[in-house]
Amino acid sequence: SVLFFVLPFIESKIWFVLLFTAVGFMVLFFTAAWLTDPGYIKKQDKDHLFELMVKNDPQSICFDCCILKPPRSKHCELCNACISVYDHHCPWINNCVGCK
């Protein structure tokens, strides 16, 4: 087996079970982080952008998404979307990391 070349000093089968369990959990959590919605805020039509500018501070408006940004939100240039609680864009999962 290939594992005997990778782990030559392990003779007990419990180590193989633990190794496969750990790798399985890593794949599961990676897939969950990759496919989970980080808290995207839905875009609005550009028709009501002027109305937002008149009623609110221009610094609190995302002009790309045409929305009033909540606190701690930020527009991700790579995803082209606003994230409600933005942390960073992770290149490993090609998704934003945030809180939904």
* Active site residue ranges: 90
Dihedral angle, C-alpha 74, 43, 69, 80, nearest 10 °: 10
